[in-house]
Structure 1
């Protein structure tokens, strides 16, 4: 018996000794430079980048603890930053028993002072892309959860003093920020905050959502609340998603607001058009490779729109489709599209108000505000707008507007473009902007049909005495990055004709300086003078405009307009001569001179004889039909 106990004791002692030796060996290997070197080598092979780990420490148990300190992964050779990833310490608790069932349970994950540098090279390659780090990116893709229930169980995730940097020299985008998280439990919320700069403007991101543990331990919809502030642009997402990895079962409200919709490009990568201050609300949905913004309501300036926007990420570049309808479109809200500012003082951004003040101070009409048309290369688009009711200034009788914009690789075509005018007339045609180069080319080909003349004199004393229908043609082409530059290089022509109608006798008398008629009409009131013919053709050559065959034929006289306009300097010099058809008691024998800046020209008298004297007119009627055909159809 004693012998058996002795043998058993020796056997037990040997096993305990071997276990102690094995444990000591494992502990030595786990804490030695050998293991650290092995980890560095494997990590370098996977990432394709030199990886350094300063220290490795393991505490064994059913819940083991792994600490990696001084981790640094080198950047791509073309990168500017000295490293792609740097972490002071990774502190992870791992439960060993669930690993046997294929479940990864991490009660605690702590990243202390992680620094991530994301860079884009000259060829638009990303330092974190699969092409740059194929092994690690492929592994990450393979480990990416297919749904919320495949996600690792993390009881506590903590990121302290995290830093994020983004550099894209080609797009002149820079982002630097900090990342941190609060402790999250199943019943608590997880928080993420980020502050930094993007294109020199402050960027702040705040996210509140369900805890990481909630992803697996419940089938309740995952709550999220995201606030993003970029300069004056505000983005807010709030709601729930059944599966945030697939973005299925989403009930998420999205609100976007700011001073100018074009400011969203650095933030969202969507080339929005220049607008007055706006607020957009709607629901955000997603299918595989397709984002949908539905049930959207837009308030842009004083205009209202509704519709649906989709972005197809499966196409390269991404393709945006928007179908918008407006029951109230204020025409002045379209002014920012060409760099101009709505005439009203409300609903304009500070930058737009500054542009307007500069135009008023300089006397210029066309703004020289650079439009960032190169953004058209970022995304292809198909956008339609149907404005059922347009509210336009008195001098512009547009009552409805519809167009379709197609953008393909930076080449934008507005076709068809139709403006419905009061009285049944239309302005229709197409426009194009070729932004495939840094010197965009702009073209316009429009035709005006049966435009009621009187509608241009709404809210004036000439309205009731004016009638007739205008036909017109606009064929212009120019290049530049602003409306002022495009007009300053414009070639082509504008032509208009009125085959018959009437205008205010007072307006004609004042223009022709027939003082006797004007004095009588001031006392007795306005009356109507029949128009036999009116034509005008403006020829554009590199921004210089010449008046060609521009006249107004009435019963009493023929008014001729001569002169020129420089769209580069935006200066006008023209004169109106009256050629009477019959005797007039009082006439100044001089032309009306119009000179100065196009925005605010000055009107004066070009006197030949200093006192009014009688004149015997002998002007003849102009051949209207032939002249109209000639003016409108000439190339």
Structure 2
């Protein structure tokens, strides 16, 4: 090779080496510069950008570091976002360490994709002020969600606090996410504190946190917990966990009284015994629906649909409920005979009428359209058959149209109106008694040959009061019960008249039924006192007439039954039967003063006149038949 050509090659090779060395040096210097670069210089810029975006002060109190690669990593420490100005808590969010991996290829598409986010010990406070404003509403917030993508989010030892002073709610959730990328329920939360002032403990598991950003995508959710004495569990999906919107879960609920759901869910339900219910719970916008639920309340089964529409003020409840086996004691909360905790509310002293006031806040908390059918009623004493009710509540006015109770083969048909717009509550009731069978109403009398009559009647009452006792204690109106036909034990009739001679004959020859011409009780109510207008039992043997009153204010009986013979008896003491005393312990006894006085007179006459002394004890049977036609005509009005 010529010398000049060889020299040219050497010079070119030397230049290449110099450029290579220079390039390596430049890259090394650049790498060193980047490695040694003080990334904290960017902290003020980032703080301003976040502050402008949120309208809140943002601080990066720790170091900022960047690790360059195809997916650069940004690592920041001790981040703090200020809270809303109205809050007494200065910080809304803090993060001990935040690591973000950026997908550079997404920048060419005009988007920012964060391939991976890790947050260590994040603390987030979500709260409402007393006017209902949330601290998550930022003054300068812009929705750039369409330009931001996140691949995976990992939270370690996170804490979320929910604070709402208006509802006495202060909850703290401890959050963790699973490190398994494909875990079906990667998020777990343990929640404790107070909800609506009640001690609360809840365990939740859910899907990936990032899926919460897509409100069209149902978020899987599973949880169980207890609020006060109320226990619940849920398994399903939700589209907005914070508002529980788009909820669709299999739901179970249990507690000591349905009344305790009022402070939790603002549902104005009556006091009940222990209950267990389960069904399908759905929530969308302002609608809450518990569909096809089944369960038990006390000793009764209960099922149906329960729907709540909170778009109205007050809320509107539509319910269709049914029970195949209804223990009537489980409905005692409707009349104030149970406490809100489900315990029996015993009246004070020797009273029996429920004295617990109705909860006016509940009566005014909702408009209601409720239908209920109890197919079979179980009681200890009364022969109830079934129950059908249609209850309407409109602006604190309650109507039962109607309330039909099957009893003793007949019906008690009630139309009841209560107006809770005023205090005390004003109530009006119209009751029809239709074809009650005496033998079923008093089965113990069937054993004594009183088993064939059918009872009917009516009542029209009005009163004022915030409890059943107060309403009845102020009642005005009238009531009539009547029975045409039937039969009663001859022995009972003789005993009612203290007819010793004929009673002995019945005991010797056997008891037989005596036909009843009619039986009527016609009473007028004034300020809680029922006064007898007409009370009689007319048979072929006797006419029994009643007098007196029943005081519902003091819960006292003061009745007297007087029997007149229609046939002759050699030893009729004719002592009236007195029914006296409190409702709780009434006394039924003969008035021996009149009977004893008459017997003493006969003893004196007997000592003087021999057989003539028996005349005062002879009943010659001069009693008239009761005017049943007229009384029954009035009862049928």
Please indicate the TM-score interval, normalised by the length of the shorter structure: 0.7 to 0.9
Partner of 2:398: 412
CA shift in 2, pair 1:135/1:213, >3 Å: closer
Which structure 2 residues correspond to residues 71-220 of structure 1 after superposition, within 5 A? 71-75=82-86, 82-83=88-89, 86-87=92-93, 92-97=98-103, 100-101=110-111, 103=113, 107-109=117-119, 112=122, 114-120=124-130, 125-128=131-134, 136=138, 155-158=153-156, 160=158, 162-168=160-166, 174-185=168-179, 186-187=182-183, 189-198=186-195, 201-213=198-210
Deviation at 1:390, TM superposition (A): 2.6
Deviation of 1:213 (Å): 4.8
- In the alignment, does 2:386 pair up with 1:388? no
CA deviations over 1:66-116 (Å, ceiling 9, x no partner): 5433733243xxxxx735975565754444446753556661345655444
Query: Secondary structure in 1 aligned to 2:362?
Result: helix
Residue in structure 2 matched with residue 538 of structure 1 by the alignment: 523
Is 2:74 the counterpart of 1:69? Answer: no
**Contact 2:81 2:91 (C-alpha < 8 Å) held by counterparts:** no
| Offset, 1:447 | 0.9
Q: Which secondary structure state, in structure 2, belongs to the residue aligned with residue 270 of structure 1?
A: coil
Residue among 247, 250, 254 paired with 2:251: 254
How much has 1:540 moved relative to structure 2? 2.4
Verify the 8 A CA contact 2:257 2:342 in the aligned structure 1: no
- What is residue 630 of structure 2 aligned with on the other side? 626
Q: Report the Cα distance in structure 2 between the residues aligned to 1:139 and 1:524, rounded to whole angstroms.
A: 100
Paired residues of 2:232 and 2:252 also in contact (CA < 8 A): yes
Cα shift at 1:215: 6.0
Q: Aligned match of 1:232 in 229, 232, 241?
A: 229
Give the direction of change, closer, same or farther, for the CA distance of 1:225–1:38 in structure 2 (3 Å limit): closer
Give 1 or 2 for the bigger CA radius of gyration.
2
Q: Normalising by structure 2, report the TM-score.
A: 0.78
User: Which of 328, 332, 340 is matched with 1:331 structurally?
Assistant: 328
Structure 1, residues 347-382: CA drift from partner, whole Å, max 9, x if none? Answer: x998524x3xx44x8332112223324213223222
Q: Does 1:374 align with 2:384?
A: no
Contact 1:380-1:410 at 8 Å conserved across structures: yes
Could you tell me the TM-score, scaled by structure 1's length? 0.78
DSSP 3-state at the match of 1:532: strand
3-state DSSP class of the match of 2:264?
helix
Counterpart secondary structure, 1:622: coil
List aligned pairs for 1:243-282, cutoff 5 A. Answer: 252-282=249-279
Q: CA deviation at 1:598?
A: 0.5
Q: Residue in 1 aligned with 2:596?
A: 610
Per the alignment, in what secondary structure is the counterpart of residue 594 of structure 1? strand
Shift in Å at residue 571 of structure 1? Answer: 2.3
Instruction: Please list every run of 5 or more consecutive structure 1 residues that lacks an aligned counterpart in the other structure.
Output: 45-50, 76-80, 342-347
Please tell me the root mean square deviation across aligned C-alpha atoms, in Å. 4.3
**Which residue is 2:7 aligned to?**
none
Count of aligned positions: 584
CA distance in 1, matches of 2:432, 2:192: 52
Separation in structure 2 between the aligned mates of residue 191 and residue 365 of structure 1, nearest angstrom: 52
Residue pair 2:532, 2:547 contacting (<8 A) in 1 also:
yes
Which residue of structure 2 lines up, in the alignment, with residue 283 of structure 1? 280
